[in-house]
Structure 1
């Protein structure tokens, strides 16, 4: 983190409390940034940093979508992220011994959140006991026609991840892991996972629908509703105000770590 700040002369910059602004009044400058190589290098370095800093995932995901043609506003957003990094250089992902072997995951998605192509961003967080062990922030490849469609896609993605983690845990001899519990704040999606009658209304999400529902029917996973206030995956799908961002960051166990 210190190296990232040093290479652009921002070691002593003023820190910020969030990596991306939630303000809707940000001035947008569409002029091309004159040093594309520098932009790509720094965005790539930040992407590497997300390996242990899930709180940076959404902001860095947004920046990396413009590698091919970055504009001055994208560079300003990149500086914003670095100023947040400046204020959190002692932060990292805390992993602690946990007596619980409960596997649970939370998925979320916005709907048509990208103003350029109206594609959605989905994300999920997977916990083993109290520890965050897997997370994703990803822009969906196709434009969704409904919020139900994007939520099903996000749910299907986390279902794949959880299935792989279960397989890995079995392979390395970890026993006593509970049936995974997936949490989703879209109530309609949770109903459809357990009720095949709804299928005719969502034919355009047929593959994801059947994939998730088959695992629910087999008892491989449980899908439950979670309220918006408890939706930890919000941090992977949208820009948030400072207080909400800090709350979710703490829940993901990203906190100040003791010096080695």
Structure 2
């Protein structure tokens, strides 16, 4: 905290503005030149559209702090940037190899899917004999989801059994690792997009957990053509219908889209157009637009109607998309 305050005070004195939306982000503007600086403890990444201004800001930083300019980012916080003609790929291939090595599965048989969703996880009476290893590997996989949204659901499910993993849970974890073995070249692709609109997709099962009958929500948020945010997690309360479960998933994605909207507006990058949310449940879609308080939602907590207020204010538009699409 003391280090961050020291760095924060210097950057503000140098003309940077501290982001209100993301405390680790600073931005500097002069004329048409823009520079963005992102801090993670003592690792800093700086980008902008004016190389002369970036060099000058780096020089000013070096007068107060010991810094090394490593040039264009190629490896940052364990994430490798692989450039090509259309953009770049954020890859954690080295990290994946390290996880497989720690698990002793470097030469395991690869699989095409990370989980069999048709087989729900149930409590088992046979505890795994090395729970520490299970926790270490699942914890490591959480960091991998930074560039692997396809692992979000499986890793979140594994995290739910950290307190007492069983042999069955260990088998499911090994399946995730086998999937990683077969998709070790996968990463997150980012490229220039002609569009800068925000749109998000949400989905939910209903009472998918056999233990407490809670539903699992998931969403994906796009900025233009690029996937920038995603999540999969169990809902806090039990949903009494599929419509309610889908409605709660919409609330999660609307909160994330609102945060992205605030960040872009703060940086002067938002177009002002309303964001679009896509849901595959007509009941939940109608519920967002209909101001009548349905009898079926009387028990729903007030905070879940946050999405309805956003639709009424014109910030969000909720549309239906077929499940098959």
Tell me the TM-score range normalised by the shorter chain: 0.7 to 0.9
The structure 2 residue matched to 1:93, chosen from 178, 182, 188, is 188
| Equivalent residue in structure 2 for 1:140, among 229, 232, 235 | 235
What is aligned with 2:282? 187
Tell me if structure 2 keeps the 8 A contact 1:105–1:183. Answer: yes
- Asked if the contact 1:153/1:208 (under 8 Å) is kept, the reply is no
1:45 matched to 2:153? The reply is no
Q: CA deviation at 1:206?
A: 4.9
In the aligned structure 2, how far is the partner of 1:23 from the partner of 1:207? 33
- What is the DSSP-based 3-state SS (H/G/I as helix, E as strand, rest coil) of the residue aligned with 1:123? strand
CA gap 1:64/1:99 in 2 versus in 1, 3 angstroms = same
Q: What is the CA–CA distance in structure 2 between the aligned matches of 1:181 and 1:117, rounded to whole Å? A: 32
Q: What TM-score do the two structures reach when normalised by structure 2?
A: 0.68
Which residue in 1 is equivalent to 2:226?
131
**Number of the residue aligned with 1:238:** none
Q: Cα 1:19–1:166, aligned 2, differ >3 Å: closer, same or farther? A: same
Cα distance in 2 between the residues matched to 1:27 and 1:66? 10
Secondary structure of the corresponding residue to residue 104 of structure 1: strand
Higher helix share: 1
Q: Is the 8 A contact 2:218 2:249 kept in 1?
A: yes
Q: Give the conservation status (yes or no) of the 8 Å contact 2:120–2:210.
A: no
Aligned counterpart, 1:257: none
Tell me whether 1:173 sits opposite 2:268 in the alignment: yes
Quote the residue 1:118 is aligned against: 213
Name the structure 1 match of 2:75: none
How many residues align structurally? 230
User: Which structure carries more relative contact order (alpha carbon 8 Å, separation 6+)?
Assistant: 1
- Equivalent residue number for residue 76 of structure 1: 171
Q: Secondary structure at the match of 2:190?
A: coil
Q: What secondary structure is seen at the aligned counterpart in 1 of 2:151?
A: helix
The answer on 1:220 being equivalent to 2:315 is yes
1:184 Cα deviation after fit: 0.7
Distance 2:250 2:100 in 1: 36
CA-based RMSD: 1.8
Q: What is the CA deviation profile of residues 19-77 of structure 1, one whole-angstrom value per residue up to 9, with x for unaligned ones?
A: 11245499986400011100000010111101110000111011110000000000000
Structure number with the higher strand fraction is 2
Aligned to 1:211: 306
TM (normalized to structure 1)? 0.84
1:162 correspondence with 2:257: yes
Contact 1:152 1:205 in 2 (8 A): no
Secondary structure at the aligned position of 1:222 is classed as strand
Tell me if structure 2 keeps the 8 A contact 1:103–1:177.
no
